[in-house]
Structure 1
Amino acid sequence: MTTMENLPRHVTVLEYLQRQLAGDLAEGTVTHMRYPTAISALLKLRIAEIGEALAVIEIDADAALHGNQQGTVHGGLLCELADAAIGTAHSTLMEPGESFTSIDLKATFLRPVWQSRLRARAWAEHRGRTISHYRCDVERDDGKLAATITSAVMTLRGERAQGR
């Protein structure tokens, strides 16, 4: 026999992530998107702040683990960190039956990283019904910007959102 207590409690993505961050996500609470994402778990990305169309994601970056040929942290890691922050920010706007996809991503690298806790702060500069534009600043733990990333994100609805 199923009781109301045994049924999962469905919440919005924003509420789910806020509760997860606060440490008071009740067992059985679910949302319609996957959290944590597989790539975030693999790279050990952490949500540091969450709001409507806003996310701050952190990673402890180290060239010994995430390095390129020059001995600095690979720019692709900074792009992935920013993409995760942008995706997390946009996911806070998604309703059941909606999904999204990135249309583009442009990175401008400003400073190298060798070993640092990186913070990617992403926010919507323009929120459209279908296309939204985001900016993400990736900051080193010394407070200096390592990169700025911009991205356009398309919200998918109905059949377009199925399986994504």
Structure 2
Amino acid sequence: MTKTVSKPNINQLYANLNGLEQMQMAFQHKGNRPSIGETLDFDLVSVEKGVAVFEGNPSEKHMNPIGSIHGGYAATLLDSALGCSIHTMLEAGESYTTVDLNVKYIRAMKPGMGKVTCRGEVVHKGRKIATAEARLVGEDGKIYAHGNTTCVIL
């Protein structure tokens, strides 16, 4: 009889780790890249307590009908940096979910503009609520969008 070996559930692997340890573990194992990073061509590049930094490469595949990069690209990068920065502040056994995401678009991103960097940083983490803010900056040093989030701690 063949013995079936099941993959451990990610929640079981991370159950005893705090949020920063979970993010560091995910950062070390690039094979754990979430599919949204594949789809939108962005990666987590650094993580520390209260901070998460992503880099992306907006291209033709991310365009809207008017020839600029779709606003959802910026919103997704901001959401990822904001959420992951809060994730780094979680105690073992805590989780979170987004209550709101606010995005302010400053200027249009264009295909071929080069890499963009999004840095999310926690403003406050309490027992029930956490807030964070982030900026999406191009290689030219200009801000293309910024945003903030509120998350509920579960």
Q: TM > 0.5 between the two? A: yes
Go from structure 1 to structure 2 and tell me whether the alpha carbon gap of 1:141 and 1:75 turns closer, same or farther (over 3 Å shift).
same
TM-score, normalisation: structure 2: 0.78
Deviations 1:99-148 (Å, cap 9, x if unpaired)? 11111111111111113311111001122221111111000111100001
Which gives a bigger RCO, structure 1 or 2 (Cα 8 Å, sep 6+)? 2
Structure 2: unaligned runs, 5 residues or longer:
1-12
Conservation of the 8 A alpha-carbon contact between 1:47 and 1:57: yes
Trace 1:20-31 onto structure 2 (pairs within 5 A). 21=27, 23=28
The residue number in structure 2 matching 1:145 is 143
Letter in structure 1 aligned against 2:54:
I
Backbone CA RMSD of aligned residues: 2.1
Tell me how far 1:16 sits from its aligned partner.
4.3
Note if 1:110 corresponds to 2:106: yes
The residue number in structure 1 matching 2:20 is 14
Go from structure 1 to structure 2 and tell me whether the alpha carbon gap of 1:95 and 1:38 turns closer, same or farther (over 3 Å shift).
farther
Note if 1:42 corresponds to 2:39: yes
TM-score, normalisation: structure 1: 0.74
Tell me how far 1:47 sits from its aligned partner.
1.3
Determine which of 74, 78, 83 is the counterpart of 1:78.
Answer: 74
Tell me how far 1:20 sits from its aligned partner.
5.4
Distance across 2 between alignment mates of 1:126 and 1:16: 20
Letter in structure 2 aligned against 1:80:
T
Deviations 1:7-45 (Å, cap 9, x if unpaired)? x79643423433554x5x6xxxxxxxxx53332343232
Structure 1: unaligned runs, 5 residues or longer:
1-7, 26-34, 157-164
